[in-house]
A and B are shown apart, each in its own frame.
Chain A
């Protein structure tokens, strides 16, 4: 153990870089478990390729199922990054700095996993290139492709830009014995960053431009995801409010996800000094605000169709409120919104467990809500058929589990390669804060 004086930035670097490249047995086991689950999902997908989609629970009546639910869910949580790093940046909320990196990572990984889902869902995944070769701009699916690919590239740039100074730091911190490949990679990625005032100015400018650019792209992404459904003449889908409804839902589940990720990395990577209760509290207010908007939109959506009670929509509401889907609807309504709302407002007891419980409930609730949007709307017969039914098969469950495993896997591995905190931004934020107090406050005494 070291004894002595350590400056704020030294300590920050030490803490943030500590997990890089170090793997405990626990971590290896965790990765192996995730790999096993992902492998199982892959096996299920190979079986699905072999037998065709008949291996799933989907049929002509309910022609979409778990895969599209996952798609909307993953694209939803990808909005975490945009909110934290872009919206909060544009609104100058400086407390965001310690969470930006994690939020952007969620974005990139969630889009990548989410975008796979519609391809897994295709009857002919071998012809996916037709979407580019014969793409028709009239189709909402093509809007998805354009929008999601822009979002993925934008988010990658937006993840990478603020990482450059940190990559340069890692390049400089590499010890002599490290492998040359590692050195080359970090050197290449750091693109000659020397932290000159000119470089800093350019970087700030680039990040600023990306922050503004990424917001409309993010909004467009979830809007067109909703259009895949609302362009269809189906009860429950046939709605003008779907665009904003899905966008708010996405930001809502995105904030819940970032809260969970923050709590995990705070604990595992010992970031308590940087990710404080204040961050959780601030985000929990944002979470509550989006929850309130989402609940309001949900209420408005069902009131407007329930008041007029068109034949097919009555069948849908019967099924949602009292019938076969009632359990899912009320699980979402009570478990996914009401209880979390109480938890977020009722400020008694320990802060973190309270907020975390709410966040976990919200994420489960939002997955269920996507199911409630997609499946019951398709179950309602438009012709003199019986009410449809859908039961996911083990293939669908396995691929879903595999997708979540891949998400966690990629996320965990990346945090071992790059710091989970944006070191230079946190340091900059700290400097700006201490500049207000005495100039000598730079050195913080820590006895260890």
Chain B
């Protein structure tokens, strides 16, 4: 077998490879710029929305710090009206929420002693959001106005956020989401999560695009009982569309609380304890809420658990 000398000794080899690597590093420096540009993309999306919505100068104004107050004294889960929960319906109708997901969901749960109350739960838009912390690609993030959004065009579908959310307020498009055809005419942005993309996470976005236009989230106006207040922490004000309250005083006087306060997630959604007494619901009322309705039909599937033998 021929014993060939390579003509390079070790020292030369090392210097040459180091020089080569340096060259590669210099030549690839434009890549850094490209990567930076890509990083800036979601922000670009946001500005598009604001500029598209606003020739009006109101979009250039101060930033809000949005929050929500849910007055459970007025919530009867729409059982008194014999309707499916209207907040969920309004949300589903506006966002074309894929069949099977309920971004603001009404749970019937137990009171101390006996009896029950209804608990409407949107995304808590936590200040210390576990879902934002664990996202590996920054697809879920806080906006300047404290809203937690998801960029479905970046989401890789690892579902760390679903595992992290202690309120289980995140949903995953396991299959192709069932939505009506009109979603395709709406331009996508993280603030307007349509059309839904298979293999990505979705959740309540606090109707961030509507807040830009000084409109309340659709669930606020959708609620016939005026349970839901949208508030702004910077202005210390909140409104349910009918009355306007001073936020801090309203929270203090009515013993408002956070869900799972002890976890330290610092949610921006408060609850005022109650069981619908203000709208005439008895604590012992056994009537359950009606299931949500999706106007566009479709087969749907259970998003919570896999039912064996279900159609794929």
Contacts and interface: CB of A to CB of B under 8 A. Distances in A.
B117 to A, nearest CB: 11
A157 to B, nearest CB: 16
Contacts of B200: 123-124
Contacts of A140: 134, 160
5 contacts: A60-B303, A121-B158, A130-B139, A139-B136, A231-B133
Interface stretch (A259-267, A358-366, A378-386): A378-386
Given A140-B134, A382-B167, A59 B303 contact: yes
B15 interface: no
Interface stretch (B46-54, B61-69, B80-88, B149-157): B149-157
B180 interface: no
B242 interface: no
A53 to B, nearest CB: 5
B13 to A, nearest CB: 11
A86 to B, nearest CB: 26
A118 interface: yes
Contacts of A384: 107-109, 119
B88 to A, nearest CB: 15
A28 interface: no
A318 B305 CA distance: 20
Interface in A215-232: 228-229, 231-232
A130 B137 contact: yes
A142 interface: yes
Nearest to B35: A133
A201 interface: no
B135 interface: yes
Contacts of A234: 163
Interface in B115-173: 119, 121, 130, 133-139, 154-160, 162-164, 166-168, 170-173
B93 interface: no
Interface in A156-180: 171-172, 174
A46 to B, nearest CB: 14
Interface of B: 1, 6, 35, 38-39, 107-109, 119, 121, 130, 133-139, 154-160, 162-164, 166-168, 170-176, 198-201, 263, 301-306, 308, 312
Given A64-B159, A232-B130, A136 B176 contact: no
Contacts of B303: 59-60
Contacts of A131: 136-137, 156
Contact of B306 (A133, A174, A183, A389): A389
A391 interface: yes
Contacts of B162: 60, 63
A57 B306 contact: yes
Given A59-B304, A171-B1, A124 B155 contact: yes
A52 interface: yes
Contact of B172 (A60, A128, A134, A386): A60
A118 B175 CA distance: 18
A14 interface: no
Interface of B is mostly: loop
Contact of B154 (A60, A130, A229): A130
Interface of A: 51-64, 118, 121-124, 127-128, 130-131, 133-136, 138-142, 145, 171-172, 174, 183, 187, 192, 228-229, 231-234, 378, 381-386, 388-391, 393
A211 to B, nearest CB: 22
B39 A134 contact: yes
Nearest to B163: A232
Given A139-B133, A233-B164, A382-B167, A391 B107 contact: no
Contacts of A55: 312
A385 B168 contact: yes
Contact of B156 (A122, A229, A382): A122
A135 B38 CA distance: 12
List the 6 closest pairs (A to B, CB-CB), nearest first. A123-B157, A123-B199, A54-B175, A139-B136, A141-B136, A54-B174
B135 to A, nearest CB: 6
Contacts of B121: 383
A200 B166 CA distance: 57
Contacts of A124: 155-157, 199-200
Identify which of A58, A63, A378, A388 gathers the most chain B CB atoms within 10 Å of its CB: A63
A329 B39 CA distance: 45
Contacts of B163: 63-64, 229, 232, 234, 378
A391 B162 CA distance: 19
A286 to B, nearest CB: 34
A50 to B, nearest CB: 10
Nearest to A377: B163
Nearest to B259: A383
Contacts of A393: 306
A382 B168 contact: yes
B176 A52 contact: yes
B157 A122 contact: yes
Contact of A141 (B6, B134, B304): B134
Given A139-B133, A382-B168, A123 B176 contact: no
A228 B160 contact: yes
B100 to A, nearest CB: 9
Nearest to A129: B156
Given A123-B172, A139-B160, A232-B164, A389 B312 contact: no
Contacts of A52: 173-176, 198-199
B173 to A, nearest CB: 7
Identify which of A61, A142, A187 gathers the most chain B CB atoms within 10 Å of its CB: A61
A383 B306 contact: no
A228 B303 CA distance: 23
A388 B133 CA distance: 25
A404 B6 CA distance: 42
Contacts of A136: 135-138
A231 B38 contact: no
B171 A127 contact: no
Identify which of B139, B162, B166, B303 gathers the most chain A CB atoms within 10 Å of its CB: B162
B85 to A, nearest CB: 14
Contacts of A134: 38-39, 137-139, 154
A391 B306 contact: yes
